[in-house]
């Protein structure tokens, strides 16, 4: 078997695997509004059940497939089942990753734009007004070239990280960026709780409303468990192919799931405490992160 690059540390692997779907964008951008609109804690309980019963099993399986074959998703399935059609499962996984990248790249460009706005002091003029923040977002996304420009920059940064390899690229940057995300969300969550009306956001997110939980919400919870853990697209197989054979797969998978869930909850607290404190509409959808959080950034200075 050919020598293959390996992760430099267990921590680096866990942070990278967690960041592949979660907290990168998925749980920060998508989970809070889904939980808030579909039963609060009732939705969260279903989501956690999906994570533990379905997600954990598949994560371990994908890690194991990658580590045992030390190949890409296509090569892994071809090695496990030679001369069969199973290799097409690998192709479909890679194809789905490209489909997801088509909108992840767009949202990543939006976030990059907001980083530049923050650095330039553009949020200072919002005056805690969600409508002003919404106007900023609508104006930006409604333009032709600006979103494309920032998406290109975002994609170029991703390419830069990847071409530096697993250890020097993905792992090193995960060790830098993931703690930053955690700290920022923690600061925003604490600040949101100190705002008048912030605790109403906690009730909205964490008190179970079973009357809002229906079959559609259950499907959403199951789908998000796949989405946030990057399941079925070959990512975990690829990451697993760089694992040391001595690493405990169950332990690593549990850490990935724990971090995933913790960041989802933290993002929910940060967003919905601020939503209710500012009197914004909690049904604002996935755009809440772009309408609400910028409104409170100036107060953190």
* Digit-coded pLDDT (tens) for 119-144: 887 777 776 676 777 888 888 888 88
pLDDT-wise least confident of 97-101, 219-223, 280-284: 280-284
Bridge partners of residue 40, in order along the sequence: 208
Q: Is residue 126 part of a domain?
A: no
pLDDT of res. 251 = 93
Q: Is residue 263 part of a domain?
A: yes
Helix (H) or strand (E) run with residue 127 in it = none
- In whole angstroms, what is the distance from residue 213 CA to residue 83 CA? 45
Burial, 229: exposed, middle or buried (Cβ in 10 Å; 0-12, 13-18, 19+)? buried
Burial, 23: exposed, middle or buried (Cβ in 10 Å; 0-12, 13-18, 19+)? buried
Q: Is residue 157 part of a domain?
A: no
pLDDT of res. 250 = 93
Domain count, the chain: 1
Q: pLDDT above 70 covers what percent of the chain?
A: 88
Q: Is residue 114 part of a domain?
A: no
Q: Is residue 135 part of a domain?
A: no
Domain span at residue 248 reads 10-106+165-300
pLDDT of res. 205 = 80
Q: pLDDT grade, residue 150 (50/70/90)?
A: very high
Tokens of 180: 């930053």
Q: Is residue 120 part of a domain?
A: no
- In whole angstroms, what is the distance from residue 67 CA to residue 95 CA? 21
pLDDT digits (tens, 9 = 90+) for 218-276: 999 998 888 888 888 888 999 999 998 888 999 999 999 998 888 888 888 888 888 78
Q: Is residue 145 part of a domain?
A: no
pLDDT above 70: residue 159: yes
Q: Is residue 188 part of a domain?
A: yes
Mean pLDDT of 47-76: 92
52 or 285, higher pLDDT: 52
pLDDT above 80: residue 284: no
């Amino acid at each position: 078997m050919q020598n293959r690059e390996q992760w430099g540390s267990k921590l680096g692997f866990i942070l990278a695997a967690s960041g592949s779907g979660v907290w990168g964008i998925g749980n920060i951008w998508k989970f809070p509004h889904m939980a808030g609109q579909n039963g609060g804690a009732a939705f969260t309980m279903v989501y956690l059940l999906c994570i533990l019963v379905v997600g954990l099993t598949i994560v371990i399986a994908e890690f194991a497939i990658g580590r045992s074959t030390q190949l890409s998703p296509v090569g892994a399935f071809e090695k496990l089942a030679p001369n069969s059609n199973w290799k097409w499962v690998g192709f479909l996984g890679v194809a789905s990753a490209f489909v997801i990248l088509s909108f992840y790249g767009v949202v990543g460009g939006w976030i990059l734009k907001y980083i530049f706005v923050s650095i330039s002091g553009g949020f200072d003029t919002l005056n805690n007004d969600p409508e002003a923040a919404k106007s900023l977002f609508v104006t930006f996304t409604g333009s032709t070239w600006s979103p494309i420009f920032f998406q290109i920059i975002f994609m170029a940064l991703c390419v830069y990280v990847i071409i530096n390899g697993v250890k020097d690229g993905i792992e090193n940057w995960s060790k830098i960026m993931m703690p930053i995300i955690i700290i920022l969300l923690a600061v925003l969550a604490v600040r949101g709780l100190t705002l008048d009306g912030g605790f109403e956001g906690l009730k909205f997110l964490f008190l179970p409303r079973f009357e809002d939980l229906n079959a559609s919400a259950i499907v959403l919870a199951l789908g998000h468990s796949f989405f946030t853990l990057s399941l079925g697209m070959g990512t975990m197989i690829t990451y697993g192919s760089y694992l040391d054979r001595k690493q405990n797969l169950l332990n690593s998978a549990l850490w990935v799931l724990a971090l995933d869930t913790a960041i989802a909850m933290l993002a929910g607290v940060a967003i919905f405490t601020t939503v209710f404190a500012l009197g914004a509409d909690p049904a604002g959808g996935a755009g809440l992160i772009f309408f609400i959080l910028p409104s409170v950034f100036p107060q953190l200075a």
